[in-house]
Amino acid sequence: MTNPRLTAIFPLMTIEDLEKAVAKLPPDELAKFRDWFAAFDGARFDEKIEFAAMAANSIV
């Protein structure tokens, strides 16, 4: 669900908008973004694994 207050401040971006923005980053900012995204993506993956483990434990 979209938060209207955030949408007013940060208009929704499409994947294409994100691709263009990332493509324009200078190398040092791209490296920072890459590090941030790897950590972000890893945390999301960990949450999925934890959720799956909790779901499996609740079945037993």
Distance CA 46, CA 40 (A): 10
| 26-45: average pLDDT | 94
Distance CA 21, CA 41 (A): 19
| Range of the structural domain that residue 41 is part of | 4-59
**Phi, psi (rounded to 5 degrees) for 21:** -65, -45
Q: How do residues 7-31 score in pLDDT, each as one tens digit?
A: 666 678 888 898 999 999 999 999 9
Query: Structural domain tally of the chain?
Result: 1
Q: How do residues 49-59 score in pLDDT, each as one tens digit?
A: 877 777 777 76
Q: What is the pLDDT of residue 21?
A: 93
